[in-house]
Amino acid sequence: MTEDIGEFDLISRYLKPLVALPGALALTDDAATIKVPASKQLIMSKDVLVGNVHFFENDLPDLIARKALRTNISDIIAKGAHPYCYALGLCFPGQASEDFIASFAEGLAADQDIYGVSLIGGDTTRSISDLMISVTMFGLAGKRGAVTRLGAGPGEAVYVSGTLGGSAVGLQTLLDRPRFEGLSEVLVSDLQSEYLLPQPPFGLQKMIAAHASASMDISDGLFQDAGHLARASEVTIIIEQEQIPMSTALQLALESDPDLLETALKGGDDYQCLMTIPPDHQALFESDCADAGIMVSLIGKTIARARLPVMLRHHGEVVENLPTGYTHF
Residue 141: CB minimum distance to its own copies, A? 7
Residue 124: CB minimum distance to its own copies, A? 7
In the list 116, 142, 145, 153, the residue contacting its own copies (rule: CB under 8 A) is 145
Site string for its own copies, 309-328 (x = CB under 8 A): ------------------xx
- Pairing mode, strands 82-93 and 96-97: unpaired
The residues, any chain, with a CB within 8 Å of residue 301's CB and separated by 6 or more, are 155, 156, 157, 158, 237, 238
- Please identify, using beta-carbon distances, which residue of 30 and 185 lies nearer to its own copies: 30
H or E element that contains 43: strand 41-50
Q: Is 185 in the site for its own copies (CB under 8 A)?
A: no
In the list 17, 126, 184, 248, the residue contacting its own copies (rule: CB under 8 A) is 126
**Rule CB under 8 A: which of 11-30 touch its own copies?**
25, 28-30
Q: Is 144 in the site for its own copies (CB under 8 A)?
A: no
Sequential DSSP letters for 304-316: E--SSSEEEEETT
- Which region among 36-44, 165-173, 238-246, 310-318 touches its own copies (by CB under 8 A)? 36-44
Q: Is 47 in the site for its own copies (CB under 8 A)?
A: yes
Q: What type of residue is 100?
A: F
- Please identify, using beta-carbon distances, which residue of 78 and 157 lies nearer to its own copies: 78
Angle at 191 between CA 188 and CA 193, to 5 degrees: 110
First to last CA, the chain: 37
Largest CA distance in the chain: 61
**Rule CB under 8 A: which of 214-273 touch its own copies?**
216-217, 228, 232
Q: Is 174 in the site for its own copies (CB under 8 A)?
A: no
Residue 314: CB minimum distance to its own copies, A? 28
Sequential DSSP letters for 243-302: GS---HHHHHHHHH-TTHHHHHHH-----EEEEEE-HHHHHHHHHHHHHHT--EEEEEEE
CB 220 within 8 A of CB 268: yes
Q: Is 54 in the site for its own copies (CB under 8 A)?
A: yes
Binding footprint of its own copies on the chain (CB under 8 A): 4-7, 25, 28-36, 38, 41-48, 50-54, 75-76, 78-79, 81, 87-92, 95-96, 120-130, 132, 134, 136, 139, 141, 145-146, 148-149, 216-217, 228, 232, 327-329
